[in-house]
Structure 1
Amino acid sequence: MDVDRGTIAEIVVSVGAVGLFVAVLIGIGTTYNQGGLSADGGVVFVGAITAFIILMSAVGIGLAYYLNQE
């Protein structure tokens, strides 16, 4: 199976971004856990989801730009 360089770059960057998102969610869960997620934790959680959407959009645009340069 032959995988080109662009596909490997997409996989590595995407897995890294998702790994960062999971780490942030775990951090939020451990920081704002008071027998359940507190109200402040809920706001931070929604902010993390919003940031993840913006991050993945930026990653997609960046990868499209990078892969079209080759």
Structure 2
Amino acid sequence: MDVDRDTVVEIAVSVGAVALFIAVIVVIGDVYNRGGLSTDGGMALVGAITGFVVLMSVLGLGLAYYLNR
């Protein structure tokens, strides 16, 4: 199976972003877990999800520009 360089870059960036998202969720769960997720933890989780969506959008646009020039 022959995979071109652009595909490998897209995969690496996506896996890195997902790994970062998982790490942030684990940290939020560790910091805000007091017998259940607190209200502040819920807000941090919503912020993490929002940040992930924005990050993936920015990375997608950046990769589209970088790989198609």
TM-score (norm 1): 0.97
Match of 1:36 in 2: 36
1:23-67 CA deviation, whole Å, 9 max, x = no partner? 000000000000010000000000000000000000100110011
Please show how residues 6-45 of structure 1 align to structure 2 within 5 Å.
6-45=6-45
What stretches of structure 1 move > 6 A for 4+ residues in a row? Answer: none
Give the secondary-structure state (helix, strand or coil) at the position aligned to 1:18.
Answer: helix
The count of corresponding residues between Structure 1 and Structure 2 is: 69
**Percent identity of equivalent pairs:** 67
Task: Could you tell me which runs of 5 or more consecutive residues in structure 2 were left unpaired when the two chains were aligned.
Answer: none
RMSD, aligned CA = 0.4
